[in-house]
Chains A and B, each alone.
Chain A
Amino acid sequence: MTNDRRPLILMSPALLWLFGLMVVPCLLILALAFFRRGLYGGIEYTWTLENIALVFDPLYFKIFMKSAGIAGLAAGIASVLGYAAAYAIASMPRRHQPMLLFFAVLPFWSNYLVRTYAWIVLLNREGLIVNLARWFGFEGEMPKLLYTESAVVIGLVYNYLPFVILSCYAPLSRLNPEIAEASRDLGASGWKTFRRITLPMTVPGIATGFVFVFVLSIGNFVTPALLGGGQFQMIGNLVYAQFLTANDWPFGAALSMVLILVMLGLLMLQAVVTERASGGKKQIDG
């Protein structure tokens, strides 16, 4: 019996840490969503659903949807690029793969802000990309690159791409090459084999990567602030503003709550997809 307790004992420091320093403060903040905002930025402890309702006010809901759109676009692009990169790495000779993976995640080792600032330098009106285009003989008016929605998407994709590469590489590298060969043997072309065998078997990796990028992007406020140049707000910026400038903590809490619920929903969906694809190793009745 003592054996059964060991996992619990080993896990408890981490669980306590998470619970005490993450879950409890989060719940406290979220609880604020149900109270009224005080006159001078304080909290008035009367019960209300106004803040939640305000989230769905067209003005704010539009920002919500826009954030979801940008996050979805970033997650989509990152998934395609990341899967392609992971596929390429996984089809290299085994001994080269660790090094290639290391290079793929190398940007992670530098500071997020520094990386994002680097993109400002690249996308600037007199930045590297514009100059390169000129050097290649591009004449005329350059489209504005920095402080656009595209810049935000580029920044998000760039920052979170390594997540997708890692999450797609895991199932790809675990594929038994004989399974793809069996498909060829049964008459499938290379492309058919990819579509019917390789892709479905590695969908959990893509789903994990997509949800990761989406969840991290939709709540992100650094990249929209720096690369979007305050031209538009994402939901993260809105939350940031409620807590730090508008001093409307209850509304900030309400926004956060809806955001967290969306994220949880997605994470659950992703868990279901993974479970499905792994075949659900239960059920042994006839």
Chain B
Amino acid sequence: MTRPLLSLQNVKKCFGTIAAVDGVTLDIHENEFFALLGASGSGKTTLLRMLAGFEDLTAGDILLEGTSIANIPPNRRPVNLMFQTYALFPHMTVAQNIAYGLEMDKLPKAQIKTHVDEILQVIQLAHLAKRKPDQLSGGQRQRVALARALVKRPKVLLLDEPLGALDKKLRGEMQLELKRLQHEFGITFIVVTHDQEEALVMADRVAIMQDGALLQVGTPHEIYEFPETRFAADFIGVMNFLPVKVSRGAAHTSNGTRIATDKPLDLPDGSAAVAAIRPERLHVGIQSDNMLTGEITAIAYHGLDLLLHIMTPLADTPIISRMTADVADHHNPAVGQQITVGWSARDTHIFPA
């Protein structure tokens, strides 16, 4: 691959004794839509602020196109940040807010006007150009904040929970909108979110962050289907965990059934582990590598599909199986029924407990 656009090298930030960002090494490429995913307090905002230039590095270095930007002040970095709170200038109109960054670049007036008008069209707010921020709805404000950062055409656009304040439906629309804009402008986006679904939908690559460190980096497919740690498996989507014990080089449930997996199992005999299976990989009425029987304790109806909660003697919590609507029509599951589900060795992950 070509030289990365942005290269983080063992980046570290300490506030007093706590390390908010703890040794992050990461390459981000031109035109990439990159999502940083992590629980609250995992250091996502701190990492973005370091990239924007608002926090200095305790250790490590940040390279943009091969040159260090660690000591360049925020106003001279070709990087823009869209703040979690939007941080619009309340005393300026929408148009003035958007023009501000271009004025700082000392562009001629006529050119500024062209750019502002253009981007107002793109975000479909031309009719509100003369409004002040407090006369806008949350979604409109969010688009102004985005336009204000985007109009400068930075090399990298950093977005801190850009959709955090929006309701679910608007979020869905804006996710696609963000992707469209990123494509249209050809700018590298780094988006922070703690909504894993959002990260999977939007990003080309996702990084999972925990306690200031990157746990796993990969495409949404890799992250979802091949989690490398139990935390990553649990954090993304829904995952079933069956407690198992390793003996004779294989995982066994508490009643001694061997769990078939095609993944290498390099855990010592006698160690405790968990087998992890996605709900949509559990099938009813099909002979599979692994089988399990239990009682349906609850059925959650989701329209497209049903989630069956199946209590088995093998785990303290119910196993969740996802059943599509047409399969459900065929099987007619009911609470209290005994049910047998199966899954393939290919869909079984084993993690140390």
Separation in Å of the A61 CB from the closest CB of chain B? 38
Separation in Å of the A187 CB from the closest CB of chain B? 3
Find out whether the CB atom of A187 lies under 8 angstroms from the CB atom of B83. no
Say if the beta carbon of A49 comes within 8 Å of chain B: no
Q: How would residues 68 to 83 of chain B score, 1 for a CB under 8 Å from any chain A CB and 0 otherwise?
A: 0000011110001101
Say if the beta carbon of B185 comes within 8 Å of chain A: no
Say if the beta carbon of A225 comes within 8 Å of chain B: no
Say if the beta carbon of A178 comes within 8 Å of chain B: yes
Closest-by-CB residue of B relative to A286 is B127
Find out whether the CB atom of A185 lies under 8 angstroms from the CB atom of B75. yes
Q: Using A178-B83, A279-B132, A286-B127 as known contacts, say yes or no to A186 and B90 having CB atoms under 8 A apart.
A: no
The bracket for how many chain B residues form the interface is: 20 to 34
The total of chain A residues at the interface (CB under 8 A) is: 24
Residue of A181, A188, A279, A280 near B104 (CB, 8 A) is A188
Q: How would residues 151 to 180 of chain A score, 1 for a CB under 8 Å from any chain B CB and 0 otherwise?
A: 000000000000000000000000010110
Separation in Å of the B212 CB from the closest CB of chain A? 21
| Interface members, chain A 110-127 (any B CB < 8 Å) | none
Residues of chain B with a CB closer than 8 A to A183's CB:
89, 100
Find out whether the CB atom of B134 lies under 8 angstroms from the CB atom of A187. no
Say if the beta carbon of B85 comes within 8 Å of chain A: yes
Find out whether the CB atom of A283 lies under 8 angstroms from the CB atom of B135. yes
Residues of chain A with a CB closer than 8 A to B176's CB:
none
Find out whether the CB atom of A281 lies under 8 angstroms from the CB atom of B87. no
A201 to B213: give the CA distance in the assembly, Å: 39
Find out whether the CB atom of A181 lies under 8 angstroms from the CB atom of B152. no
Q: Using A279-B134, A286-B127 as known contacts, say yes or no to A186 and B148 having CB atoms under 8 A apart.
A: yes
Find out whether the CB atom of B91 lies under 8 angstroms from the CB atom of A277. yes
Closest-by-CB residue of B relative to A281 is B134
Say if the beta carbon of A182 comes within 8 Å of chain B: yes
Find out whether the CB atom of A181 lies under 8 angstroms from the CB atom of B91. no
Find out whether the CB atom of A181 lies under 8 angstroms from the CB atom of B75. no
A182 to B98: give the CA distance in the assembly, Å: 12
Say if the beta carbon of B218 comes within 8 Å of chain A: no
Separation in Å of the A150 CB from the closest CB of chain B? 37
Find out whether the CB atom of A189 lies under 8 angstroms from the CB atom of B75. yes
Separation in Å of the A193 CB from the closest CB of chain B? 8
A182 to B83: give the CA distance in the assembly, Å: 8
Separation in Å of the A41 CB from the closest CB of chain B? 55
Say if the beta carbon of B199 comes within 8 Å of chain A: no
10 CB contacts below 8 A, A to B, read A176-B87, A178-B83, A178-B85, A182-B148, A183-B100, A187-B104, A187-B152, A188-B100, A279-B133, A286-B128
Give 18 new A-B contacts, CB below 8 A, not counting A181-B54, A186-B149, A277-B91.
A178-B85, A178-B87, A179-B88, A181-B74, A181-B87, A182-B81, A184-B54, A186-B80, A186-B152, A187-B101, A187-B105, A187-B152, A188-B100, A197-B89, A200-B91, A279-B135, A283-B135, A286-B127
* Chain A to chain B: the 3 pairs with minimum beta-carbon distance, closest first: A187-B104, A186-B101, A182-B87
